[in-house]
Amino acid sequence: MRLSIILLVFTMLPLFSASGKDLKFAVVPKYHSVFFEQSKHGCKDAATQIKGVECIYRGPEKASVRVQDQIISQLIDEGVDGIAVAVTQSKFLAENSIQKARNAGIPIVTYDSDFDLQTLEKYKKIRSTYIGTDNFQFGRALGEQLKKQRPNGGTLIIQTGRPDSPNLNLRIMGIRSALSGKQYNTPPGKMLLNDSGWTEVREPFINFDQLSRAVKQMESVVQGRRLKADSFIAVGGWPQNDEALYRKMIAPFKEKLERKEVIVVISDASDQQLIMLRDQLAHANVGQNPYEMGRQAILTLHNIVKNLDYDEFIHTPINLCTRENYTSCTQHNL
Protein backbone atom coordinates (compact mmCIF):
# COMPACT_ATOMS: atom_id res chain seq x y z
CA MET A 1 0.00 0.00 0.00
CA ARG A 2 2.80 2.42 0.89
CA LEU A 3 4.55 1.70 -2.40
CA SER A 4 1.32 2.46 -4.27
CA ILE A 5 0.95 5.80 -2.49
CA ILE A 6 4.57 6.75 -3.25
CA LEU A 7 4.17 5.85 -6.91
CA LEU A 8 0.95 7.89 -7.07
CA VAL A 9 2.69 10.95 -5.61
CA PHE A 10 5.54 10.75 -8.12
CA THR A 11 3.05 10.29 -10.96
CA MET A 12 1.16 13.42 -9.94
CA LEU A 13 4.22 15.68 -9.50
CA PRO A 14 4.67 16.61 -13.19
CA LEU A 15 1.11 17.89 -13.28
CA PHE A 16 2.09 20.62 -10.86
CA SER A 17 5.66 21.36 -11.92
CA ALA A 18 5.99 20.37 -15.57
CA SER A 19 7.31 23.77 -16.56
CA GLY A 20 9.53 24.23 -13.54
CA LYS A 21 8.10 27.73 -13.16
CA ASP A 22 6.59 29.08 -9.96
CA LEU A 23 4.77 32.05 -11.52
CA LYS A 24 3.17 32.41 -14.94
CA PHE A 25 2.29 35.87 -16.21
CA ALA A 26 0.44 36.51 -19.46
CA VAL A 27 0.77 39.44 -21.85
CA VAL A 28 -2.28 39.82 -24.12
CA PRO A 29 -1.92 42.29 -27.04
CA LYS A 30 -4.77 43.74 -29.08
CA TYR A 31 -3.62 41.67 -32.04
CA HIS A 32 -0.42 40.36 -33.60
CA SER A 33 1.66 43.09 -35.24
CA VAL A 34 5.21 44.37 -35.54
CA PHE A 35 4.43 46.80 -32.72
CA PHE A 36 3.04 44.28 -30.23
CA GLU A 37 5.68 41.72 -31.13
CA GLN A 38 8.19 44.00 -29.44
CA SER A 39 6.18 43.78 -26.19
CA LYS A 40 6.55 40.00 -26.47
CA HIS A 41 10.34 40.33 -26.54
CA GLY A 42 10.21 42.65 -23.53
CA CYS A 43 8.13 40.26 -21.45
CA LYS A 44 10.23 37.23 -22.42
CA ASP A 45 13.48 39.01 -21.54
CA ALA A 46 12.12 40.19 -18.18
CA ALA A 47 10.96 36.67 -17.33
CA THR A 48 14.44 35.24 -17.91
CA GLN A 49 15.82 37.69 -15.35
CA ILE A 50 13.53 36.51 -12.53
CA LYS A 51 13.97 32.98 -11.26
CA GLY A 52 10.84 30.87 -11.55
CA VAL A 53 8.89 33.28 -13.77
CA GLU A 54 7.41 32.48 -17.19
CA CYS A 55 5.95 34.93 -19.71
CA ILE A 56 3.03 33.70 -21.83
CA TYR A 57 2.37 35.92 -24.85
CA ARG A 58 -0.97 35.25 -26.49
CA GLY A 59 -3.35 37.43 -28.49
CA PRO A 60 -5.76 37.51 -31.44
CA GLU A 61 -4.35 37.24 -34.95
CA LYS A 62 -6.61 40.15 -35.93
CA ALA A 63 -8.20 42.79 -33.73
CA SER A 64 -11.30 41.32 -32.06
CA VAL A 65 -12.49 42.12 -28.56
CA ARG A 66 -14.44 38.85 -28.40
CA VAL A 67 -11.40 36.77 -29.30
CA GLN A 68 -9.27 38.76 -26.87
CA ASP A 69 -11.88 38.14 -24.17
CA GLN A 70 -11.86 34.40 -24.91
CA ILE A 71 -8.06 34.31 -24.67
CA ILE A 72 -8.09 36.04 -21.28
CA SER A 73 -10.76 33.63 -20.03
CA GLN A 74 -8.69 30.68 -21.26
CA LEU A 75 -5.59 31.98 -19.48
CA ILE A 76 -7.59 32.28 -16.26
CA ASP A 77 -8.70 28.65 -16.62
CA GLU A 78 -5.06 27.67 -17.13
CA GLY A 79 -4.21 29.22 -13.78
CA VAL A 80 -1.94 32.12 -14.69
CA ASP A 81 -0.84 34.30 -11.80
CA GLY A 82 -1.31 37.69 -13.47
CA ILE A 83 -2.37 39.23 -16.78
CA ALA A 84 -1.26 42.33 -18.70
CA VAL A 85 -3.76 43.33 -21.39
CA ALA A 86 -3.82 45.97 -24.10
CA VAL A 87 -7.50 46.91 -23.86
CA THR A 88 -9.41 46.62 -27.12
CA GLN A 89 -12.83 47.63 -25.79
CA SER A 90 -13.26 48.70 -22.17
CA LYS A 91 -16.90 47.89 -21.44
CA PHE A 92 -16.94 44.41 -22.97
CA LEU A 93 -13.76 43.21 -21.27
CA ALA A 94 -14.73 44.76 -17.94
CA GLU A 95 -18.08 42.98 -17.92
CA ASN A 96 -16.71 39.59 -18.96
CA SER A 97 -13.20 38.11 -18.69
CA ILE A 98 -11.81 40.83 -16.43
CA GLN A 99 -14.61 40.22 -13.94
CA LYS A 100 -13.74 36.54 -14.09
CA ALA A 101 -10.12 37.40 -13.32
CA ARG A 102 -11.11 39.59 -10.38
CA ASN A 103 -13.33 36.82 -8.97
CA ALA A 104 -10.38 34.43 -9.27
CA GLY A 105 -8.06 36.87 -7.49
CA ILE A 106 -5.79 37.28 -10.52
CA PRO A 107 -4.18 40.74 -10.73
CA ILE A 108 -4.66 42.74 -13.92
CA VAL A 109 -2.44 45.45 -15.36
CA THR A 110 -3.03 47.25 -18.63
CA TYR A 111 -0.39 48.19 -21.18
CA ASP A 112 -0.45 50.32 -24.34
CA SER A 113 -4.21 50.91 -23.99
CA ASP A 114 -5.93 51.47 -20.63
CA PHE A 115 -9.60 51.18 -19.68
CA ASP A 116 -11.57 54.34 -20.37
CA LEU A 117 -12.42 56.72 -17.55
CA GLN A 118 -16.05 55.59 -17.28
CA THR A 119 -14.96 51.98 -16.77
CA LEU A 120 -12.30 52.92 -14.25
CA GLU A 121 -14.87 54.90 -12.27
CA LYS A 122 -17.51 52.17 -12.41
CA TYR A 123 -15.21 49.27 -11.54
CA LYS A 124 -12.90 50.46 -8.79
CA LYS A 125 -9.46 48.86 -8.83
CA ILE A 126 -10.26 46.93 -12.00
CA ARG A 127 -6.56 47.05 -12.78
CA SER A 128 -3.55 47.72 -10.60
CA THR A 129 -1.40 49.70 -13.04
CA TYR A 130 -1.33 51.22 -16.52
CA ILE A 131 1.99 50.74 -18.33
CA GLY A 132 2.63 52.58 -21.56
CA THR A 133 2.63 55.83 -23.43
CA ASP A 134 1.03 58.94 -21.98
CA ASN A 135 -1.42 58.94 -24.86
CA PHE A 136 -2.56 62.55 -24.55
CA GLN A 137 1.04 63.78 -24.62
CA PHE A 138 1.75 61.39 -27.48
CA GLY A 139 -1.06 63.03 -29.46
CA ARG A 140 0.31 66.45 -28.62
CA ALA A 141 3.69 65.35 -29.97
CA LEU A 142 2.05 64.26 -33.24
CA GLY A 143 0.38 67.67 -33.50
CA GLU A 144 3.60 69.52 -32.73
CA GLN A 145 5.44 67.60 -35.44
CA LEU A 146 2.77 68.67 -37.93
CA LYS A 147 3.02 72.30 -36.79
CA LYS A 148 6.77 72.28 -37.46
CA GLN A 149 6.09 71.22 -41.04
CA ARG A 150 3.14 73.55 -41.55
CA PRO A 151 3.44 76.44 -39.06
CA ASN A 152 0.65 78.56 -40.56
CA GLY A 153 -2.07 75.94 -40.24
CA GLY A 154 -3.89 73.93 -42.87
CA THR A 155 -6.45 71.23 -43.49
CA LEU A 156 -6.19 67.89 -41.76
CA ILE A 157 -7.47 64.33 -41.80
CA ILE A 158 -6.75 62.07 -38.81
CA GLN A 159 -6.76 58.28 -39.04
CA THR A 160 -7.63 56.06 -36.07
CA GLY A 161 -8.30 52.39 -35.39
CA ARG A 162 -11.52 52.00 -33.42
CA PRO A 163 -13.87 54.81 -32.38
CA ASP A 164 -14.14 53.34 -28.86
CA SER A 165 -10.43 52.82 -28.24
CA PRO A 166 -9.49 54.84 -25.11
CA ASN A 167 -5.82 55.32 -25.93
CA LEU A 168 -6.49 56.40 -29.52
CA ASN A 169 -9.16 58.90 -28.48
CA LEU A 170 -6.69 60.45 -26.04
CA ARG A 171 -4.19 60.80 -28.88
CA ILE A 172 -6.76 62.51 -31.09
CA MET A 173 -7.55 64.90 -28.26
CA GLY A 174 -3.84 65.60 -27.88
CA ILE A 175 -3.51 66.43 -31.59
CA ARG A 176 -6.50 68.77 -31.47
CA SER A 177 -5.20 70.45 -28.33
CA ALA A 178 -1.72 71.00 -29.81
CA LEU A 179 -3.09 72.49 -33.03
CA SER A 180 -5.90 74.60 -31.57
CA GLY A 181 -4.35 75.66 -28.27
CA LYS A 182 -7.59 74.62 -26.57
CA GLN A 183 -8.28 72.28 -23.67
CA TYR A 184 -10.96 69.60 -23.97
CA ASN A 185 -12.77 67.87 -21.13
CA THR A 186 -13.56 64.58 -22.82
CA PRO A 187 -11.64 62.51 -25.41
CA PRO A 188 -11.42 62.79 -28.37
CA GLY A 189 -12.17 66.53 -28.09
CA LYS A 190 -13.92 68.47 -30.87
CA MET A 191 -13.20 68.55 -34.56
CA LEU A 192 -11.05 71.50 -35.59
CA LEU A 193 -12.88 74.27 -37.45
CA ASN A 194 -10.56 77.16 -38.25
CA ASP A 195 -8.93 76.77 -34.83
CA SER A 196 -5.63 78.65 -34.95
CA GLY A 197 -5.69 78.12 -38.70
CA TRP A 198 -6.49 74.39 -38.58
CA THR A 199 -9.58 72.66 -39.96
CA GLU A 200 -10.42 68.95 -40.14
CA VAL A 201 -12.17 68.33 -43.42
CA ARG A 202 -14.00 65.27 -42.08
CA GLU A 203 -14.34 63.03 -39.05
CA PRO A 204 -11.30 60.78 -38.48
CA PHE A 205 -10.97 57.77 -40.74
CA ILE A 206 -11.65 54.51 -38.86
CA ASN A 207 -9.75 51.46 -40.13
CA PHE A 208 -10.66 48.90 -37.42
CA ASP A 209 -6.97 47.82 -37.39
CA GLN A 210 -7.18 46.57 -40.97
CA LEU A 211 -3.89 47.43 -42.68
CA SER A 212 -5.12 47.34 -46.28
CA ARG A 213 -8.02 49.58 -45.34
CA ALA A 214 -5.65 51.99 -43.61
CA VAL A 215 -3.49 52.23 -46.73
CA LYS A 216 -6.50 52.88 -48.98
CA GLN A 217 -7.77 55.59 -46.65
CA MET A 218 -4.41 57.32 -46.68
CA GLU A 219 -4.21 57.00 -50.46
CA SER A 220 -7.46 58.92 -50.83
CA VAL A 221 -5.86 61.80 -48.90
CA VAL A 222 -2.55 61.98 -50.77
CA GLN A 223 -4.37 61.67 -54.11
CA GLY A 224 -6.30 64.79 -53.25
CA ARG A 225 -9.14 64.11 -55.67
CA ARG A 226 -12.23 63.42 -53.62
CA LEU A 227 -10.77 64.64 -50.32
CA LYS A 228 -8.92 67.95 -50.19
CA ALA A 229 -6.56 68.06 -47.21
CA ASP A 230 -2.92 69.10 -47.01
CA SER A 231 -2.06 67.12 -43.86
CA PHE A 232 -2.51 63.54 -42.64
CA ILE A 233 -1.84 62.10 -39.18
CA ALA A 234 -2.25 58.43 -38.23
CA VAL A 235 -2.54 57.88 -34.47
CA GLY A 236 -1.27 54.33 -34.98
CA GLY A 237 1.26 52.80 -37.36
CA TRP A 238 -1.29 50.94 -39.54
CA PRO A 239 -0.47 52.35 -43.00
CA GLN A 240 3.23 51.55 -42.61
CA ASN A 241 2.83 48.17 -40.91
CA ASP A 242 2.59 46.52 -44.33
CA GLU A 243 5.75 48.03 -45.80
CA ALA A 244 5.36 46.62 -49.32
CA LEU A 245 1.78 47.84 -49.61
CA TYR A 246 2.66 51.28 -48.24
CA ARG A 247 5.62 51.73 -50.60
CA LYS A 248 3.51 50.74 -53.59
CA MET A 249 0.77 53.19 -52.60
CA ILE A 250 2.97 56.18 -51.76
CA ALA A 251 5.51 55.91 -54.61
CA PRO A 252 3.42 57.87 -57.19
CA PHE A 253 3.01 60.72 -54.69
CA LYS A 254 6.61 61.08 -53.49
CA GLU A 255 7.05 64.40 -55.32
CA LYS A 256 3.90 65.75 -53.65
CA LEU A 257 5.43 64.92 -50.29
CA GLU A 258 8.69 66.58 -51.31
CA ARG A 259 6.84 69.76 -52.28
CA LYS A 260 4.90 69.54 -49.02
CA GLU A 261 1.60 69.54 -50.84
CA VAL A 262 0.70 66.86 -48.30
CA ILE A 263 2.39 66.45 -44.91
CA VAL A 264 2.43 62.91 -43.50
CA VAL A 265 2.97 62.25 -39.77
CA ILE A 266 2.58 58.68 -38.54
CA SER A 267 2.77 57.00 -35.14
CA ASP A 268 5.44 54.50 -34.12
CA ALA A 269 9.05 54.17 -35.21
CA SER A 270 9.92 50.57 -35.94
CA ASP A 271 13.09 49.82 -37.91
CA GLN A 272 11.12 49.46 -41.13
CA GLN A 273 9.32 52.75 -40.51
CA LEU A 274 12.60 54.56 -39.98
CA ILE A 275 13.85 53.20 -43.31
CA MET A 276 10.72 54.61 -44.96
CA LEU A 277 11.40 57.91 -43.25
CA ARG A 278 14.96 57.81 -44.61
CA ASP A 279 13.52 57.19 -48.06
CA GLN A 280 11.38 60.34 -47.67
CA LEU A 281 8.08 58.47 -47.71
CA ALA A 282 6.81 60.42 -44.67
CA HIS A 283 7.77 63.64 -42.92
CA ALA A 284 7.85 62.50 -39.28
CA ASN A 285 7.20 59.56 -36.98
CA VAL A 286 6.51 59.67 -33.26
CA GLY A 287 7.70 56.43 -31.71
CA GLN A 288 6.75 54.47 -28.60
CA ASN A 289 8.55 51.79 -26.61
CA PRO A 290 6.49 48.58 -26.68
CA TYR A 291 9.52 46.52 -25.62
CA GLU A 292 9.65 48.44 -22.34
CA MET A 293 5.88 48.03 -21.92
CA GLY A 294 6.24 44.26 -22.08
CA ARG A 295 9.24 44.26 -19.77
CA GLN A 296 7.58 46.46 -17.17
CA ALA A 297 4.41 44.35 -17.34
CA ILE A 298 6.26 41.29 -16.04
CA LEU A 299 8.25 43.21 -13.43
CA THR A 300 5.10 44.90 -12.14
CA LEU A 301 3.00 41.74 -11.99
CA HIS A 302 5.83 40.06 -10.10
CA ASN A 303 5.92 42.91 -7.57
CA ILE A 304 2.14 42.73 -7.14
CA VAL A 305 1.99 39.01 -6.35
CA LYS A 306 5.04 39.30 -4.08
CA ASN A 307 3.41 42.22 -2.20
CA LEU A 308 6.22 44.58 -3.18
CA ASP A 309 5.83 48.27 -4.04
CA TYR A 310 4.73 49.18 -7.57
CA ASP A 311 3.72 52.36 -9.39
CA GLU A 312 0.11 53.13 -10.30
CA PHE A 313 1.23 54.57 -13.64
CA ILE A 314 4.37 53.71 -15.59
CA HIS A 315 4.74 55.99 -18.61
CA THR A 316 7.18 54.68 -21.18
CA PRO A 317 9.17 57.17 -23.31
CA ILE A 318 8.43 58.46 -26.80
CA ASN A 319 10.76 59.33 -29.68
CA LEU A 320 10.50 62.21 -32.14
CA CYS A 321 11.82 61.04 -35.51
CA THR A 322 12.38 63.11 -38.63
CA ARG A 323 14.30 62.75 -41.87
CA GLU A 324 17.19 64.56 -40.22
CA ASN A 325 17.56 62.38 -37.10
CA TYR A 326 16.12 59.00 -38.13
CA THR A 327 19.42 57.22 -37.40
CA SER A 328 19.52 58.33 -33.77
CA CYS A 329 15.99 59.34 -32.70
CA THR A 330 15.17 56.09 -30.91
CA GLN A 331 18.27 56.49 -28.76
CA HIS A 332 16.95 59.70 -27.23
CA ASN A 333 13.77 59.09 -25.25
CA LEU A 334 11.44 61.84 -24.03
Max CA pair span of the chain: 88
Report the Cα 1 to chain-centroid distance in Å: 58
pLDDT given at position 214: 98
Type of residue numbered 210? Q
Decide if pLDDT at 288 tops 90: yes
Decide if pLDDT at 20 tops 60: no
pLDDT given at position 15: 30
pLDDT given at position 166: 87
- List, for residues 217-239, the tens digit of each pLDDT value: 999 999 998 889 999 999 999 99
pLDDT given at position 314: 97
- List, for residues 140-173, the tens digit of each pLDDT value: 999 999 999 999 999 999 999 999 888 999 999 9
Over the Cα atoms of the chain, what is R_g? 22
pLDDT given at position 225: 87
Residue 332 banded pLDDT, cuts 50, 70, 90: low
Domains present along the chain, CATH in parentheses: 17-133+290-317 (3.40.50.2300), 135-287 (3.40.50.2300)
SS3 154: strand
Q: Are 63 and 88 in contact (CB under 8 A)?
A: yes
- List, for residues 183-215, the tens digit of each pLDDT value: 999 999 999 999 999 999 999 999 999 999 999
Cβ–Cβ contacts within 10 Å for residue 134, how many?
Answer: 18
- List, for residues 45-104, the tens digit of each pLDDT value: 999 999 999 999 999 999 899 999 999 999 999 999 999 999 999 999 999 999 999 999
Decide if pLDDT at 14 tops 80: no
Nearest to 75 by CA among 42, 48, 106, 45: 106
